[in-house]
A = this chain, B = another copy of it.
Amino acid sequence: MAVSPLAPAAFPDLPVIEGVRLATVAAGVKYRNRDDVMLAVLDPGSVVAGVFTRSATRSAPVLDCQAKIGQESAAGAAILVNSGNSNAFTGAAGQASVDAICKAAAEATGLPAERIFTSSTGVIGQPLPHDRIIAKLDEVVSKVSRMELPNAAKAIMTTDTFPKGASRTITVDGKTVNIAGIAKGSGMIAPDMATMLVYVFTDARISRAALQAIVSEANARTFNNITVDSDTSTSDTLLMGATGASGVDVDGNADFAQAVEEVFRELAHLVVKDGEGATKFVTVNVTGAATDADARTHALSIANSPLVKTAIAGEDPNWGRIVMAVGKSGAAADRDRLTIRFGDILVAEKGWVSPDYREEQGAAVMKQPEISIDVDIGLGQGAATVWTCDLTHGYISINADYRS
């Protein structure tokens, strides 16, 4: 599959995170001739936080992570991820596979089983051939090293068209703290649905509860505000590990929280830029709503509207569809107070097209690969930002033309 036209020129240089060692291995879960299992081992004293899909039909690995994520432990931890099979909707066999993998990984790493966090992404509804993963555990454990994040970003890909990584380095009291993460996005592997997996590591020292609070808040502002096609995976997982190896305590440090959010946002944007068939990266800013929640409802209604997304694909400055999406969202709006901008161009205000607006202005904005749509509701102070992509023939081809 062709690399997304929105892909960055190269995978970024990521800092080494002391206290985390990674390796990848080819277990042949489904793919051949590529690494499909990633292992990250975090040193004793590390804490792990996470957020997960809210789907009512979430996968066995997600349920297992959720049962473990709130536990305190000084024993270290491991994150084991396979691509090729999502172990979702696999009945009682699903949890049995997770249990078998965790037990074997605990033996191979010397960690307690309740410190093994697993994710699976790929085909749904087929039993996970967990023996293939277990057979490779000793090999992957023996290979772990500090420099493997780029390879890890590749091993977790399904039909992503490029690996995704981001990092920030901040200085706290004259000492360096590093944050680096990888993600996989909305690539599709028939007959499965898109799955978002995100793993972020830092050498900061922080309590589990404080890290969880930062992760939850940053997630709410980043990954929870992206949408490719409004469909929610059964397997979405974000895990963040803090090793403390820098010796720098960041509990309550706003710069650290900010840097985490920046890494999350950058990874979230990369997921959208690899959205199926995407040719445009779209930022929807809603201001002036009655509440922040209303603003998010409007923004998601715009970002998920097939008519808005196809207009963007056609480079059509179709502000009528923005009006429609605001109107249908269910959140408070007054037709005659709406203001709509494409980029810097004032398109509509006071319930009608702006008298100075000319179609060529909007059309010029729409030709750009990155587009912002700004809507002021005119009712209050509520604001929200959502990121999405366009809806193209490429999306239909990926999801309809090729049979499972």
Contacts and interface: CB of A to CB of B under 8 A. Distances in A.
Contacts of A332: 56
A169 to B, nearest CB: 36
A310 B348 contact: no
Contact of A323 (B89, B311, B323, B329): B89
Nearest to A91: B352
Nearest to A396: B393
Nearest to A126: B353
Given A234-B327, A306-B230, A310-B396, A320 B91 contact: no
Contacts of A327: 53, 55-58, 232, 234
Interface stretch (A18-26, A187-195, A242-250, A381-389): A187-195
A324 interface: yes
A226 B400 CA distance: 22
A318 B191 contact: yes
A166 interface: no
Interface stretch (A105-113, A212-220, A333-341): A333-341
Interface residues of A, number: 72
A56 B352 contact: no
Nearest to A298: B56
A304 B231 CA distance: 9
Contacts of A93: 352
A320 B391 contact: no
B396 A400 contact: no
A318 B232 contact: no
A332 B57 CA distance: 10
B319 A401 contact: no
A401 B56 contact: no
Interface string A112-154: 0000000000011100000000000000000000000000000
Interface string A56-88: 111000000000000000000000000000001
A316 interface: yes
A252 interface: no
Interface in A357-404: 390-393, 395-397, 399-404
Contacts of A311: 191, 399-400
A351 interface: yes
B350 A403 contact: no
Given A55-B324, A57-B323, A91-B351, A402 B314 contact: yes
A114 to B, nearest CB: 23
A285 interface: no
Contacts of A88: 320, 323
A233 interface: yes
Contact of A307 (B125, B229, B305, B307): B229
A270 interface: no
B391 A57 contact: no
Contact of A57 (B91, B233, B324, B392): B324
A183 interface: no
A321 interface: yes
Contacts of A53: 327
A313 interface: yes
Interface string A4-35: 00000000000000000000000000000000
B190 A328 contact: no
A193 B324 contact: yes
Given A125-B320, A194-B307, A232-B327, 7 more contacts: A55-B328, A56-B334, A89-B335, A89-B353, A91-B351, A125-B323, A193-B320
15 contacts: A56-B327, A56-B328, A56-B332, A58-B327, A89-B352, A124-B324, A125-B323, A191-B321, A193-B307, A231-B306, A231-B307, A310-B400, A313-B400, A314-B401, A316-B403
Question: 4 nearest interchain CB pairs?
Answer: A57-B327, A91-B352, A55-B327, A232-B328
